[in-house]
Structure 1
Protein backbone atom coordinates (compact mmCIF):
# COMPACT_ATOMS: atom_id res chain seq x y z
CA UNK A 1 0.00 0.00 0.00
CA UNK A 2 2.78 2.47 0.87
CA UNK A 3 4.76 3.77 -2.06
CA UNK A 4 8.44 4.46 -1.51
CA UNK A 5 9.77 7.12 -3.90
CA UNK A 6 13.37 6.17 -3.17
CA UNK A 7 15.04 3.76 -0.76
CA UNK A 8 16.05 4.86 2.72
CA UNK A 9 19.46 4.23 4.18
CA UNK A 10 19.50 0.54 5.05
CA UNK A 11 19.57 -0.21 8.74
CA UNK A 12 19.33 3.38 9.97
CA UNK A 13 18.43 3.32 13.65
CA UNK A 14 16.57 6.37 14.91
CA UNK A 15 16.59 7.22 18.61
CA UNK A 16 13.26 8.60 19.77
CA UNK A 17 11.77 10.06 22.91
CA UNK A 18 8.19 9.10 23.69
CA UNK A 19 6.20 11.64 25.69
CA UNK A 20 2.67 11.00 26.84
CA UNK A 21 0.66 14.11 27.64
CA UNK A 22 -1.98 13.22 30.19
CA UNK A 23 -3.41 14.37 33.49
CA UNK A 24 -4.47 10.83 34.43
CA UNK A 25 -2.14 8.19 32.96
CA UNK A 26 0.70 6.49 34.79
CA UNK A 27 3.47 4.37 33.24
CA UNK A 28 1.35 1.31 34.11
CA UNK A 29 -1.83 2.61 32.43
CA UNK A 30 -0.19 4.36 29.47
CA UNK A 31 -1.17 1.90 26.75
CA UNK A 32 -0.51 4.40 23.96
CA UNK A 33 2.98 5.30 25.18
CA UNK A 34 3.76 1.60 25.58
CA UNK A 35 2.48 0.90 22.05
CA UNK A 36 4.63 3.65 20.52
CA UNK A 37 7.72 2.29 22.27
CA UNK A 38 7.01 -1.29 21.18
CA UNK A 39 6.36 -0.29 17.56
CA UNK A 40 9.63 1.68 17.48
CA UNK A 41 11.58 -1.25 18.91
CA UNK A 42 9.91 -3.72 16.53
CA UNK A 43 10.98 -1.49 13.62
CA UNK A 44 14.62 -1.54 14.78
CA UNK A 45 14.71 1.91 16.36
CA UNK A 46 15.56 2.80 19.95
CA UNK A 47 13.74 4.63 22.72
CA UNK A 48 16.12 7.10 24.35
CA UNK A 49 13.61 8.67 26.75
CA UNK A 50 10.08 8.15 27.98
CA UNK A 51 7.98 10.22 30.35
CA UNK A 52 4.47 11.41 31.09
CA UNK A 53 3.78 15.14 31.45
CA UNK A 54 0.63 16.94 32.52
CA UNK A 55 -1.40 18.68 29.80
CA UNK A 56 0.05 22.06 30.74
CA UNK A 57 1.65 24.15 27.99
CA UNK A 58 4.66 25.17 30.08
CA UNK A 59 5.40 21.56 31.06
CA UNK A 60 5.06 20.38 27.44
CA UNK A 61 7.32 23.16 26.15
CA UNK A 62 9.90 22.62 28.89
CA UNK A 63 9.99 18.91 28.07
CA UNK A 64 10.43 19.69 24.36
CA UNK A 65 13.28 22.11 25.08
CA UNK A 66 15.06 19.64 27.39
CA UNK A 67 14.78 16.85 24.81
CA UNK A 68 16.01 19.14 22.02
CA UNK A 69 19.24 19.56 23.98
CA UNK A 70 19.77 15.79 24.17
CA UNK A 71 22.27 15.02 21.40
CA UNK A 72 21.39 11.31 21.55
CA UNK A 73 17.83 11.91 20.29
CA UNK A 74 16.73 12.22 16.67
CA UNK A 75 12.98 12.51 17.14
CA UNK A 76 10.31 13.14 19.77
CA UNK A 77 6.85 11.60 19.59
CA UNK A 78 4.22 13.23 21.79
CA UNK A 79 0.87 11.52 22.24
CA UNK A 80 -2.23 13.01 23.82
CA UNK A 81 -3.82 16.43 24.09
CA UNK A 82 -4.42 16.98 20.36
CA UNK A 83 -8.20 17.48 20.49
CA UNK A 84 -10.16 20.65 21.18
CA UNK A 85 -11.25 20.12 24.80
CA UNK A 86 -10.12 22.89 27.17
CA UNK A 87 -7.38 20.62 28.61
CA UNK A 88 -6.03 19.71 25.14
CA UNK A 89 -3.06 22.08 24.91
CA UNK A 90 -0.39 19.93 23.25
CA UNK A 91 -0.90 21.32 19.75
CA UNK A 92 -0.72 24.94 20.91
CA UNK A 93 2.37 24.35 23.05
CA UNK A 94 4.27 22.49 20.33
CA UNK A 95 3.15 24.44 17.26
CA UNK A 96 4.42 27.70 18.73
CA UNK A 97 7.95 26.26 19.06
CA UNK A 98 8.29 24.48 15.70
CA UNK A 99 10.78 26.09 13.34
CA UNK A 100 9.43 24.16 10.35
CA UNK A 101 6.14 22.33 10.03
CA UNK A 102 5.25 19.29 7.96
CA UNK A 103 1.64 20.15 7.06
CA UNK A 104 1.29 16.93 5.08
CA UNK A 105 1.57 14.88 8.27
CA UNK A 106 -1.56 16.34 9.87
CA UNK A 107 -3.40 16.40 6.55
CA UNK A 108 -2.65 12.74 5.84
CA UNK A 109 -3.38 11.71 9.42
CA UNK A 110 -6.82 13.33 9.29
CA UNK A 111 -7.51 11.84 5.83
CA UNK A 112 -6.59 8.34 7.04
CA UNK A 113 -8.57 8.90 10.26
CA UNK A 114 -11.59 10.00 8.23
CA UNK A 115 -11.53 6.64 6.47
CA UNK A 116 -11.75 4.93 9.88
CA UNK A 117 -13.92 7.22 12.02
CA UNK A 118 -15.63 9.53 9.56
CA UNK A 119 -16.13 13.24 10.10
CA UNK A 120 -14.95 13.13 13.74
CA UNK A 121 -11.43 13.24 12.27
CA UNK A 122 -11.78 17.02 11.92
CA UNK A 123 -11.27 17.36 15.70
CA UNK A 124 -7.69 16.04 15.51
CA UNK A 125 -4.86 18.53 15.67
CA UNK A 126 -2.04 16.08 14.93
CA UNK A 127 1.06 17.97 13.80
CA UNK A 128 4.70 17.35 12.91
CA UNK A 129 7.73 19.52 12.31
CA UNK A 130 11.28 20.35 13.28
CA UNK A 131 12.59 21.96 16.45
CA UNK A 132 16.32 22.51 17.04
CA UNK A 133 17.27 19.80 14.57
CA UNK A 134 14.88 17.23 16.03
CA UNK A 135 11.90 15.71 14.29
CA UNK A 136 8.74 16.32 16.35
CA UNK A 137 5.45 14.44 16.06
CA UNK A 138 2.31 15.13 18.06
CA UNK A 139 -0.41 12.50 17.72
CA UNK A 140 -3.63 11.66 19.54
CA UNK A 141 -3.49 9.64 22.74
CA UNK A 142 -6.01 7.01 21.65
CA UNK A 143 -4.49 3.62 20.88
CA UNK A 144 -6.28 3.57 17.49
CA UNK A 145 -4.85 6.99 16.64
CA UNK A 146 -1.38 5.92 17.77
CA UNK A 147 -1.50 2.74 15.71
CA UNK A 148 -2.64 4.62 12.60
CA UNK A 149 -0.03 7.39 12.93
CA UNK A 150 2.84 5.04 13.74
CA UNK A 151 2.15 2.28 11.21
CA UNK A 152 0.97 4.33 8.26
CA UNK A 153 2.92 7.59 8.57
CA UNK A 154 5.70 7.81 11.16
CA UNK A 155 7.49 4.46 10.83
CA UNK A 156 7.49 4.41 7.00
CA UNK A 157 9.11 7.87 6.89
CA UNK A 158 11.10 8.14 10.14
CA UNK A 159 14.50 7.12 8.75
CA UNK A 160 14.06 9.21 5.61
CA UNK A 161 13.06 12.36 7.52
CA UNK A 162 15.86 12.02 10.07
CA UNK A 163 18.28 11.42 7.19
CA UNK A 164 17.13 14.71 5.65
CA UNK A 165 17.78 16.53 8.94
CA UNK A 166 21.28 15.06 9.18
CA UNK A 167 22.36 16.44 5.78
Structure 2
Protein backbone atom coordinates (compact mmCIF):
# COMPACT_ATOMS: atom_id res chain seq x y z
CA UNK A 1 0.00 0.00 0.00
CA UNK A 2 1.37 3.41 -0.92
CA UNK A 3 2.12 5.87 1.84
CA UNK A 4 0.21 9.17 1.74
CA UNK A 5 3.43 11.10 1.04
CA UNK A 6 4.80 8.65 -1.51
CA UNK A 7 5.82 9.83 -4.94
CA UNK A 8 3.37 8.93 -7.64
CA UNK A 9 5.82 8.57 -10.50
CA UNK A 10 8.13 5.90 -11.83
CA UNK A 11 11.50 5.96 -10.11
CA UNK A 12 14.80 5.69 -11.95
CA UNK A 13 17.03 2.94 -10.60
CA UNK A 14 20.45 1.49 -11.29
CA UNK A 15 21.29 -2.14 -10.55
CA UNK A 16 24.77 -3.43 -9.78
CA UNK A 17 25.73 -7.07 -9.40
CA UNK A 18 29.04 -7.66 -7.63
CA UNK A 19 30.45 -11.01 -8.68
CA UNK A 20 33.65 -12.59 -9.87
CA UNK A 21 31.75 -15.21 -11.89
CA UNK A 22 28.35 -13.95 -13.05
CA UNK A 23 27.59 -12.75 -16.54
CA UNK A 24 24.44 -11.04 -17.85
CA UNK A 25 23.21 -14.51 -18.89
CA UNK A 26 23.77 -16.08 -15.45
CA UNK A 27 22.91 -13.12 -13.22
CA UNK A 28 19.60 -14.31 -11.81
CA UNK A 29 19.68 -11.91 -8.86
CA UNK A 30 20.32 -8.84 -11.01
CA UNK A 31 17.53 -9.94 -13.34
CA UNK A 32 15.19 -10.45 -10.38
CA UNK A 33 15.86 -6.95 -9.04
CA UNK A 34 15.17 -5.46 -12.47
CA UNK A 35 12.01 -7.51 -12.92
CA UNK A 36 10.59 -6.56 -9.51
CA UNK A 37 11.23 -2.87 -10.16
CA UNK A 38 9.75 -3.02 -13.66
CA UNK A 39 6.66 -4.87 -12.41
CA UNK A 40 5.69 -1.81 -10.36
CA UNK A 41 6.55 0.65 -13.12
CA UNK A 42 10.03 1.81 -12.15
CA UNK A 43 12.70 2.35 -14.80
CA UNK A 44 16.12 0.67 -14.93
CA UNK A 45 18.46 3.34 -16.24
CA UNK A 46 21.68 1.36 -15.81
CA UNK A 47 22.75 -2.20 -15.05
CA UNK A 48 26.29 -3.45 -14.56
CA UNK A 49 28.26 -6.41 -13.27
CA UNK A 50 31.63 -5.75 -11.65
CA UNK A 51 34.16 -7.99 -9.94
CA UNK A 52 34.24 -8.01 -6.15
CA UNK A 53 36.95 -5.35 -5.99
CA UNK A 54 36.31 -2.41 -3.63
CA UNK A 55 37.71 0.22 -6.02
CA UNK A 56 35.51 -0.97 -8.91
CA UNK A 57 32.39 -1.01 -6.73
CA UNK A 58 33.10 2.37 -5.17
CA UNK A 59 34.05 4.05 -8.47
CA UNK A 60 30.84 2.98 -10.18
CA UNK A 61 28.64 4.05 -7.27
CA UNK A 62 30.45 7.41 -7.12
CA UNK A 63 29.86 7.79 -10.87
CA UNK A 64 26.16 6.97 -10.43
CA UNK A 65 26.01 9.40 -7.49
CA UNK A 66 26.70 12.24 -9.92
CA UNK A 67 23.69 11.41 -12.08
CA UNK A 68 20.67 13.60 -11.49
CA UNK A 69 18.27 11.13 -13.10
CA UNK A 70 18.78 8.35 -10.53
CA UNK A 71 16.59 7.90 -7.46
CA UNK A 72 18.02 4.62 -6.18
CA UNK A 73 20.90 2.20 -6.60
CA UNK A 74 20.43 -1.46 -5.71
CA UNK A 75 23.55 -3.59 -5.35
CA UNK A 76 23.65 -7.34 -4.87
CA UNK A 77 26.53 -9.60 -3.95
CA UNK A 78 29.57 -9.44 -1.73
CA UNK A 79 27.82 -8.75 1.59
CA UNK A 80 29.06 -11.78 3.52
CA UNK A 81 32.25 -12.22 5.51
CA UNK A 82 34.32 -14.31 3.11
CA UNK A 83 37.65 -12.75 2.07
CA UNK A 84 36.26 -11.77 -1.39
CA UNK A 85 33.10 -10.18 0.10
CA UNK A 86 34.02 -6.49 -0.03
CA UNK A 87 30.82 -4.74 -1.08
CA UNK A 88 29.87 -3.65 2.43
CA UNK A 89 33.35 -2.25 3.04
CA UNK A 90 33.32 -0.35 -0.26
CA UNK A 91 29.86 1.16 0.23
CA UNK A 92 29.57 1.74 3.97
CA UNK A 93 32.17 4.51 3.89
CA UNK A 94 30.22 6.31 1.12
CA UNK A 95 26.92 6.44 2.99
CA UNK A 96 26.04 9.92 4.20
CA UNK A 97 23.09 8.60 6.19
CA UNK A 98 22.38 4.99 7.08
CA UNK A 99 19.06 3.21 7.38
CA UNK A 100 19.90 0.75 10.19
CA UNK A 101 16.35 -0.57 10.14
CA UNK A 102 16.82 -2.01 6.67
CA UNK A 103 19.65 -4.34 7.70
CA UNK A 104 17.93 -5.18 10.97
CA UNK A 105 14.64 -6.04 9.27
CA UNK A 106 16.35 -7.94 6.48
CA UNK A 107 18.27 -10.11 8.95
CA UNK A 108 15.11 -10.65 11.02
CA UNK A 109 13.19 -11.81 7.95
CA UNK A 110 16.16 -13.90 6.82
CA UNK A 111 16.37 -15.52 10.25
CA UNK A 112 12.79 -16.73 9.78
CA UNK A 113 13.86 -18.44 6.55
CA UNK A 114 17.44 -19.61 7.15
CA UNK A 115 17.96 -19.44 10.89
CA UNK A 116 21.05 -18.16 12.61
CA UNK A 117 23.07 -18.03 9.37
CA UNK A 118 21.31 -14.70 8.78
CA UNK A 119 23.76 -13.04 11.18
CA UNK A 120 26.52 -13.32 8.53
CA UNK A 121 24.73 -10.91 6.19
CA UNK A 122 26.05 -7.37 6.03
CA UNK A 123 23.08 -6.07 4.04
CA UNK A 124 22.95 -2.30 4.41
CA UNK A 125 21.05 0.71 3.12
CA UNK A 126 21.40 4.44 3.27
CA UNK A 127 21.71 7.66 1.35
CA UNK A 128 24.52 8.66 -0.97
CA UNK A 129 24.46 11.83 -3.10
CA UNK A 130 20.70 12.28 -2.64
CA UNK A 131 20.02 8.70 -3.76
CA UNK A 132 18.89 5.64 -1.88
CA UNK A 133 21.50 2.91 -1.85
CA UNK A 134 20.64 -0.68 -0.96
CA UNK A 135 23.21 -3.46 -0.73
CA UNK A 136 21.84 -7.02 -0.71
CA UNK A 137 23.34 -10.48 -0.64
CA UNK A 138 23.82 -12.13 -4.03
CA UNK A 139 21.51 -15.06 -3.32
CA UNK A 140 18.35 -14.91 -5.44
CA UNK A 141 16.31 -16.05 -2.45
CA UNK A 142 17.71 -13.17 -0.35
CA UNK A 143 17.14 -10.69 -3.20
CA UNK A 144 13.53 -11.82 -3.57
CA UNK A 145 12.97 -11.42 0.16
CA UNK A 146 14.49 -7.93 0.29
CA UNK A 147 12.74 -6.70 -2.84
CA UNK A 148 9.30 -8.08 -2.01
CA UNK A 149 9.18 -7.40 1.72
CA UNK A 150 11.22 -4.20 2.06
CA UNK A 151 12.40 -2.33 -1.02
CA UNK A 152 9.49 -2.41 -3.47
CA UNK A 153 6.86 -1.48 -0.84
CA UNK A 154 8.91 1.37 0.67
CA UNK A 155 10.92 2.79 -2.23
CA UNK A 156 8.45 5.53 -3.30
CA UNK A 157 7.94 6.65 0.29
CA UNK A 158 11.67 6.72 1.06
CA UNK A 159 12.42 8.70 -2.10
CA UNK A 160 9.65 11.18 -1.23
CA UNK A 161 11.23 11.68 2.21
CA UNK A 162 14.62 12.17 0.62
CA UNK A 163 13.30 14.72 -1.88
CA UNK A 164 11.52 16.65 0.91
Tell me, yes or no, whether TM beats 0.5: yes
TM range (shorter): over 0.9
The aligned length equals 164
Equivalent position to 2:131, from 134, 138, 158 = 134
Separation (CA, whole Å) in 1 of partners of 2:7 and 2:53: 39
Matches within 5 A, 1:16-165: 16-165=13-162
For residues 30 and 129 of structure 2, the distance between their equivalents in structure 1, rounded to whole angstroms, comes to 23
| Structure 1 moving runs of 4+ over 2 Å | 6-12
Question: How large is the Cα RMSD of the aligned pairs?
Answer: 1.2
Q: Could you list the runs of 5+ residues in structure 2 that have no partner in the other structure?
A: none
Whole-Å separation in 1 of the counterparts to 2:25 and 2:10:
27
Q: Provide Cα deviations, 1:76-130, integer angstroms capped at 9, x if missing partner.
A: 0000000000000000100011000000000000000000000000000000000
2 CA distance for matches of 1:91 and 1:102? 14
